[in-house]
Amino acid sequence: MCRYAWMHAHAYHHGYGHCCCHGGGMRRAPSRKEELSRLEGYLKELQEEMRAVEERIKELKNRDGQGA
Protein backbone atom coordinates (compact mmCIF):
# COMPACT_ATOMS: atom_id res chain seq x y z
CA MET A 1 0.00 0.00 0.00
CA CYS A 2 1.18 3.49 -0.74
CA ARG A 3 2.53 5.32 2.30
CA TYR A 4 0.50 8.37 1.29
CA ALA A 5 -2.85 6.56 1.29
CA TRP A 6 -4.47 9.01 3.74
CA MET A 7 -3.54 11.92 1.48
CA HIS A 8 -4.91 10.14 -1.58
CA ALA A 9 -8.22 9.47 0.16
CA HIS A 10 -8.49 13.17 0.98
CA ALA A 11 -7.55 14.17 -2.56
CA TYR A 12 -10.15 11.76 -3.96
CA HIS A 13 -12.88 13.61 -2.05
CA HIS A 14 -11.77 16.80 -3.72
CA GLY A 15 -11.49 15.26 -7.18
CA TYR A 16 -7.75 15.47 -7.69
CA GLY A 17 -7.42 12.11 -9.34
CA HIS A 18 -5.45 9.08 -8.34
CA CYS A 19 -2.11 8.27 -6.79
CA CYS A 20 0.85 9.70 -8.68
CA CYS A 21 3.43 7.76 -6.60
CA HIS A 22 3.31 4.65 -8.78
CA GLY A 23 4.12 6.04 -12.20
CA GLY A 24 0.67 7.41 -12.93
CA GLY A 25 -0.06 11.06 -13.38
CA MET A 26 -2.65 13.35 -11.94
CA ARG A 27 -5.72 13.86 -14.04
CA ARG A 28 -6.90 17.24 -15.19
CA ALA A 29 -8.30 19.67 -12.66
CA PRO A 30 -12.03 19.17 -12.10
CA SER A 31 -14.49 21.61 -13.60
CA ARG A 32 -16.40 23.91 -11.25
CA LYS A 33 -19.47 21.72 -11.67
CA GLU A 34 -17.51 18.54 -10.86
CA GLU A 35 -15.85 20.13 -7.85
CA LEU A 36 -19.16 21.48 -6.56
CA SER A 37 -20.80 18.08 -6.93
CA ARG A 38 -17.97 16.32 -5.09
CA LEU A 39 -17.87 18.92 -2.33
CA GLU A 40 -21.63 18.70 -1.81
CA GLY A 41 -21.36 14.92 -1.55
CA TYR A 42 -18.46 15.20 0.87
CA LEU A 43 -20.39 17.71 2.99
CA LYS A 44 -23.34 15.33 3.14
CA GLU A 45 -21.04 12.51 4.31
CA LEU A 46 -19.55 14.75 7.00
CA GLN A 47 -23.00 15.85 8.19
CA GLU A 48 -24.13 12.22 8.44
CA GLU A 49 -21.01 11.34 10.38
CA MET A 50 -21.57 14.32 12.68
CA ARG A 51 -25.14 13.18 13.38
CA ALA A 52 -23.88 9.70 14.22
CA VAL A 53 -21.30 11.12 16.63
CA GLU A 54 -23.91 13.35 18.27
CA GLU A 55 -26.22 10.35 18.69
CA ARG A 56 -23.44 8.29 20.26
CA ILE A 57 -22.65 11.13 22.67
CA LYS A 58 -26.33 11.24 23.70
CA GLU A 59 -26.34 7.47 24.25
CA LEU A 60 -23.27 7.66 26.47
CA LYS A 61 -24.66 10.57 28.46
CA ASN A 62 -27.98 8.79 28.96
CA ARG A 63 -26.19 5.64 30.07
CA ASP A 64 -24.14 7.64 32.58
CA GLY A 65 -27.32 9.27 33.87
CA GLN A 66 -28.86 5.86 34.55
CA GLY A 67 -25.94 4.77 36.72
CA ALA A 68 -24.70 2.07 34.35
C-beta of residue 2 within 8 angstroms of C-beta of residue 20: no
Note whether 67 and 36 are same-domain residues: yes
Query: Rounded to an integer, what distance in angstroms lies between the CA atom of residue 42 and that of residue 47?
Result: 9
Tell me the per-residue pLDDT of 10-25, one tens digit each, with 9 for 90 and over.
666 566 655 556 666 7
| Range in 7-16, 29-38, 56-65 the model is least confident about | 7-16
Q: What was the pLDDT predicted at 52? A: 98
Note whether 35 and 25 are same-domain residues: no
Query: Rounded to an integer, what distance in angstroms lies between the CA atom of residue 24 and that of residue 62?
Result: 51
Phi, psi dihedral angles at 67 (to 5 degrees): 80, 20
Tell me the per-residue pLDDT of 49-62, one tens digit each, with 9 for 90 and over.
999 999 999 999 99
Note whether 36 and 20 are same-domain residues: no
Domain range for 35: 31-68
Note whether 25 and 35 are same-domain residues: no
Total of domains in the chain? 2
The answer to pTM > 0.85 is no
Query: Rounded to an integer, what distance in angstroms lies between the CA atom of residue 15 and that of residue 54?
Result: 28
Note whether 66 and 47 are same-domain residues: yes
Note whether 24 and 4 are same-domain residues: yes
Q: Is the pLDDT of residue 8 over 80?
A: no
